[in-house]
Amino acid sequence: MRVERVAALKNDVMNLLRRQETPVEGLAETLPVLRKALSSPRRDAVLDIVAIGSIGLLGDSSDISRLSHFMKCDSRRASAVGTAIRRINERSGVK
């Protein structure tokens, strides 16, 4: 995984978040990179929050356990994780 590639996704993700639109087709192919970014031993808080938000927009219920780890271990990322999990659950029909 290249941190540069995750950083390059930041503009696309931030544009989606600002417009609150449905994710653009084709961004789902970035999910493996985003998931790997969150499991990397070398992480950056800004990249983590971008990855968490992106997974919230693009991910599925299989991502909830990966995200929940940050809810328990890292209060700085807890708000982003809560929002991401809520978005995944809304798309899955879970309340």
User: ∠ at Cα 76 (70, 77), nearest 5°?
Assistant: 40
The separation between CA 15 and the C-alpha centre of its own chain, rounded to angstroms, equals 14
- pLDDT, one tens digit per residue, over 23-32 is 556 677 788 8
pLDDT in tens, 51-93: 999 999 889 999 999 899 888 777 778 889 999 999 999 988 8
Largest CA distance in the chain: 36
Is 0.75 topped by the overall pTM? no
Domain boundaries, the chain: 3-92
Q: How confident is the model at residue 13 (pLDDT cuts 50, 70, 90)?
A: low
Helix runs in 20-76, H state only: 31-39, 45-58, 64-73
Amino acid identity for residue 6 in this structure: V
Of 75, 73, 40, 38, give the one whose Cα is nearest residue 53. 38
